[in-house]
């Protein structure tokens, strides 16, 4: 079990001189303003070069555990749950620790951060390094961002090399989408393409109903012993895979079909005020994918040339798609555009 930060030994009888001042500064930063989160404290501490007892960087959770431990104030919880003297020195005062407890309670009962409504999740943007879909993930400071999650123990995930601020990426993509909408004739193409996509949704509805009927029929055949159990399992797996694919394509098509584009004369204002669902739909309709590459250096807060590559659809291709009996999403025949 690692020693507690601020103390030189497991018995906590001696303070560790080089950790006393950092801990006191961390506590002071947390108490000076209730808007300062544990993640903010962690970012500051790491920036100062301070590390935990095992040499790792501070995280939101590790700061929280430290601040909730009464031993840092030379206290412990008695049998009745009240704070009592622990018989060893403390790094901070009892008053400061009680203030930390009050701060923690405020954080629990206060308004939690609203879930961020990401524009480019669900495959909307991918890692330029490994093609894995980027996922929404808050940074250590609590701000929304996108990241390529590294592989887990089961091998699921990507390379983990790409992270980007959500507002930065979405603002960049939004500028190009609005610019595309302002081109002559694009609005008419969009409305025409939506009509074809609505037909595609109807085709997929029929495909799904047919697959569900086939699944019922296979079950009936097995129940009357006309097919073996192995044949039943194989057929059900094939049908289940087809249903999953068809339902996914239907959601994809519905997203493009079920939105209302704002007035052409004020597209910028429409984009800035439109619900994320509408912006996601128009983005999906215009862009087949958004590739994000690593920044040239850690901490870069701009979209450098070539870091974000936009792949545009040819809207005319959607018309052929509506006649495709399989209902596949339109192919990407478009060019790439560098975010410079």
Per-residue pLDDT 10s for the chain (340 aa) are: 678 999 998 889 899 989 998 999 999 889 877 778 899 899 999 988 999 988 889 998 899 999 999 999 999 998 888 899 998 999 999 999 999 999 888 776 655 556 788 899 878 899 999 999 999 888 766 789 999 998 887 788 899 999 999 999 999 999 998 888 888 787 777 777 777 778 888 888 899 999 999 989 998 998 899 999 899 989 999 998 888 878 877 776 776 676 666 665 667 777 877 778 778 888 887 888 999 999 988 777 789 999 999 999 876 655 444 444 334 433 343 434 444 3
Q: Please classify residue 63 by burial: count the beta carbons closer than 10 Å to its beta carbon, then call 0-12 exposed, 13-18 middle and 19+ buried.
A: buried
pTM for the full predicted model: 0.51
CA distance 108 to 112: 8
Which sign, positive or negative, has the C-alpha torsion 97, 64, 163, 278? negative
CATH level 3 topology of 17-109: Hect, E3 ligase catalytic domain fold (3.90.1750)
**Domain definitions of the chain by residue range:** 17-109, 179-338
CA 296 to chain centre: 22
Kindly provide the b/e burial profile for residues 215-253, where b requires at least 16 CB atoms within 10 angstroms of the residue's own CB. beebeeebeeeebeeeeeeebeeebeebbebbeebbebb
**DSSP class of 6:** T
And the tokens for 283? 């983005």
């Amino acid at each position: 079990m690692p020693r507690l930060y601020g103390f030189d030994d497991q018995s906590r009888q001696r303070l560790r001189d080089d950790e006393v001042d950092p801990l006191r500064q961390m506590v002071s930063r947390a108490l000076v303003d209730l808007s300062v989160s544990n993640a903010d404290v962690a970012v500051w501490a790491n920036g100062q070069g301070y590390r935990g007892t095992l040499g790792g960087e501070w995280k939101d959770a590790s700061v929280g555990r430290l601040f909730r431990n009464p031993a840092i104030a030379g206290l412990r919880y008695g049998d009745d749950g009240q704070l009592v003297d622990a018989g060893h020195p403390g790094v901070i005062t009892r008053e400061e620790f009680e203030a930390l407890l009050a701060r923690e309670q405020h954080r629990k009962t206060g308004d939690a951060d609203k879930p961020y409504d990401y524009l480019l999740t669900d495959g909307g943007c991918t890692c330029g390094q490994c093609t894995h879909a980027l996922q929404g993930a808050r940074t250590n400071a609590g701000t929304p961002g996108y990241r390529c999650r590294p592989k887990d123990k089961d091998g699921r995930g990507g390379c983990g090399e790409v992270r980007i601020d959500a507002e930065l990426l979405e603002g960049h993509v939004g500028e190009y989408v609005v610019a595309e909408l302002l081109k002559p004739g694009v609005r008419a193409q969009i409305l025409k393409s939506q009509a074809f996509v609505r037909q595609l949704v109807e085709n997929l509805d029929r495909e799904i109903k047919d697959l569900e009927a086939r699944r019922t029929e296979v079950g009936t055949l097995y129940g009357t012993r006309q097919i073996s159990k192995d044949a039943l399992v194989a057929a059900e797996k094939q049908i289940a895979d087809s249903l999953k694919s068809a339902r996914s394509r239907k959601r994809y098509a519905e997203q493009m079909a079920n939105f209302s584009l704002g007035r052409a004369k004020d597209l910028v204002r429409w984009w800035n005020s439109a619900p994320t669902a509408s912006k996601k739909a128009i983005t999906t309709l215009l862009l087949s994918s958004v590739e994000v590459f690593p920044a040239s250096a850690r901490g870069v807060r701009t979209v450098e040339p070539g870091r974000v590559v936009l792949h545009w659809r040819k809207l005319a291709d959607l018309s052929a798609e509506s006649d495709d009996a399989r209902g596949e999403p339109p192919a990407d025949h478009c060019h790439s555009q560098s975010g410079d």
